[in-house]
Amino acid sequence: MRPYDAFLLLSFGGPEKSDDVIPFLENVTRGRGIPRERLAEVGEHYFLFDGVSPINQQCRDLVEAVRADFDANGVDLPVYWGNRNWDPYLGDTVAAMARDGVRRVVALATSAYSNYSSHRQYLEDIERARAAVPGAPEIDLIRPYYDHPGFVDSFTGHTLDALARLPAELREDAHLLYSAHSIPEAMARASGDPRRDYGPVGAYEAQLAEVARLVTERVGGGHRYDLVYQSRSGPPTQPWLEPDINDRLAELADEGVRAVVVVPYGFVSDHMEVKYDLDVEALETARKLGVRLERASAPGTHPAFVAMVRDLVTERAEGREPRGLGAIERSCHDAPEDCCRPR
């Protein structure tokens, strides 16, 4: 797979026992101005699950699936994994790669969209880790891949599965709620390639709208749908993207909607923000409102998603033009120096 001699999965990281929770939250929020009350509250979400975030095991599963897929398809690259906020830390992984004689790495982040947290911050993580390791390999980060057919098809499949779990009499009129991580409005406006015009909403929201349209079209059946946000943090005075999923659920209940399928299209796996903010909190909201809620799975190790990883690796290795189902102008693949920076 020239010019590369290794593949790296880059992820967020999460705690795996109660004692990890507070140090993990300190890592995530260092210098970010998250109120203490919010931190205590999010800590409780983790303690509810005995301090174990699902995200690390989901990364191990994806690493194994990618290894098997590479083996079966003649992609001869060792697979490494490193995180931003928890063990295995990216810095340790970069040191291990240097020791193993790895010179050039192709990396995929477990974030599909353009914005500071999902794209730029991973580029910064890579540079920081490399700077601390003498003889560190070069690391090329794969572009945002939100409209790759492998990402869209895995959500389509999982949305159809979730619809099938609804009682037959509720299925046809079920409302689709596409849920993504809220971010500060300023971060949303600064997302993407600064030379491009994404309209008033910025690249992140434009990309989300594209994916919701693509998945709804493929699911068929003419379902009505909305874009909603979850997991807001930051001080209440700072505007973040809205509407919150819980507020929108209340409005839909008022409008007479009796069943919703929540599609966590902002995420790559069913990690804590999905397991708590959707499966505990939004489910409870829906139950109180008398709305039936089914949650579709995020891609995880869906075969289309695993095959996507290989396609993105070969795209980068062969220097192929990026392709997607949407309008590629919405991406920031050709502006790796300036995209998704705070302005």
Ligand X SMILES: CC1=C(CCC(=O)O)c2cc3nc(cc4[nH]c(cc5[nH]c(cc1n2)c(C)c5CCC(=O)O)c(CCC(=O)O)c4C)C(CCC(=O)O)=C3C
Among 18, 27, 29, 314, binds ligand X (CB under 6 A): 29
Nearest approach in angstroms of CB 78 to ligand X is 24
Instruction: Kindly state whether residue 54 participates in binding ligand X, applying the rule CB under 6 A.
Output: yes
| 164-193 binders of ligand X (CB under 6 A) | 181, 183
For residue 177, the Cα-to-chain-centroid distance in whole angstroms is 16
CB atoms within 10 A of CB 224: 14
When the beta carbons of 234 and 322 are compared against ligand X, the nearer one is 234
CA atoms within 13 A on the CB side of 65: 19
Q: What is the DSSP string of 119-174?
A: IIHHHHHHHHHHHTSTTPPEEEEPPP-TTSHHHHHHHHHHHHHHHHHS-HHHHTTP
Element (H, E) at 209: helix 202-219
Nearest approach in angstroms of CB 118 to ligand X is 4
Instruction: Kindly state whether residue 207 participates in binding ligand X, applying the rule CB under 6 A.
Output: no
Residue ranges of the annotated binding site for Fe(2+) are 181, 273
Instruction: Kindly state whether residue 90 participates in binding ligand X, applying the rule CB under 6 A.
Output: no
Element (H, E) at 208: helix 202-219
Among 9, 16, 53, 225, binds ligand X (CB under 6 A): 53
Furthest-apart CA atoms within the chain: distance in Å: 63
When the beta carbons of 1 and 182 are compared against ligand X, the nearer one is 182
Among 34, 96, 98, 201, binds ligand X (CB under 6 A): 34
What's 48's DSSP letter? T
Compute, in degrees rounded to 10, the torsion defined by CA atoms 281, 285, 291, 294: -10
Judged by CB under 6 A, the stretch of 34-42, 96-104, 142-150, 334-342 that binds ligand X is 34-42
In this structure, what token pair is assigned to residue 183?
């971010």
Number of residues that bind ligand X (CB under 6 A): 27
Instruction: Kindly state whether residue 244 participates in binding ligand X, applying the rule CB under 6 A.
Output: no
Q: What CA–CA distance (Å, rounded) separates 9 from 109?
A: 6
Judged by CB under 6 A, the stretch of 98-106, 264-272, 285-293, 325-333 that binds ligand X is 264-272
* Helix/strand/coil percent split, the chain, to 5: 45, 15, 40
For residue 68, the Cα-to-chain-centroid distance in whole angstroms is 22
When the beta carbons of 119 and 310 are compared against ligand X, the nearer one is 119
Among 273, 293, 325, 340, binds ligand X (CB under 6 A): 273
| 219-238 binders of ligand X (CB under 6 A) | 231, 233-234
For residue 164, the Cα-to-chain-centroid distance in whole angstroms is 25
Among 83, 93, 114, 118, binds ligand X (CB under 6 A): 118
Judged by CB under 6 A, the stretch of 95-103, 114-122, 192-200, 283-291 that binds ligand X is 114-122
Nearest approach in angstroms of CB 343 to ligand X is 15
Name residue 263's amino acid: V
Residues that bind ligand X (CB under 6 A): 12, 14, 25, 28-29, 32, 34, 38, 42, 53-55, 110-111, 115, 117-118, 181, 183, 231, 233-234, 266-267, 271-273
